[in-house]
Amino acid sequence: MDKTKRIQTPLTVQQAVGLKVGDNVLISGVIYTARDAAHRRLAELLKEGKPLPIELEDQVLYYVGPAPAPPGHACGAAGPTTSTRMDIYTPPLIEKGLRGMIGKGLRSQAVIEAMKKHGAVYFAATGGAAALISKSIKKVEVVAYEDLGTEAIHRMYVEDFPCIVVIDSYGNNLYESGPQRYRTCKTL
């Protein structure tokens, strides 16, 4: 197995371009959560030229809507949601300096192009490994859109959050190359 890389947020361009597709990564530091509803609001603000509630430069967004935290836990189950739904809102965020995204599932060509142009990375966390992932989340606080409940923007303090580089800043895509290597039938 490839050796695991430890990275600390904020994620600089230099760090981002050093990450290669297939790298196992453990992320520590601050990351922000946002799902569909929060993305819609961020996109509207950008369109109107208004300031965003969080600074995006060199930040990492995690596509997640955690389950409520049981007593004694910093965070409830918190695995990734399908990233594809965020695609239409994402390129302008990358232009604003967003450096990393954690989710699961395919991305659009427009997102990949923006990642290549600005040097951003897409990480996959294991879908459905939500209880395991929640152990690496040490503290959670709401920073914007509290009315959205689980869909609000949260600041998460994470330690050794496990994920894999699935699309690197050069556009290499493990969702394509991985299955290709193991496919033994002809494509439909």
Q: What is the DSSP letter of 126?
A: P
Angle at alpha carbon of residue 180, lines to 174 and 184, rounded to 5°: 150
| Interaction between residue 127 and ligand SF4 (CB under 6 A) | yes
Site for another protein in 44-63 (CB under 8 A): none
Decide: helix, strand or coil at residue 26: strand
| Interaction between residue 149 and ligand SF4 (CB under 6 A) | no
Nearer to ligand SF4, 99 or 107 (CB): 107
Q: Tell me which residue of 174, 134, 169 sits closest to 154, measured CA to CA.
A: 134
| Interaction between residue 66 and ligand SF4 (CB under 6 A) | no
Nearer to ligand SF4, 79 or 91 (CB): 79
Alpha-helical segments (H) within 48-129? 90-95, 109-118
* In the complex, minimum distance from the CB of residue 144 to another protein, in angstroms, rounded to a whole number: 18
> Which amino acid appears at position 31 of this protein?
I
Tokens coding 125: 């966390």
Q: Note the residues at the interface with another protein (CB under 8 A).
A: 1-2, 22, 24, 64-70, 73, 76-79, 81-82, 84, 104-106, 124, 126-135, 149-150, 162, 164, 166, 174-175, 177-185, 187-188
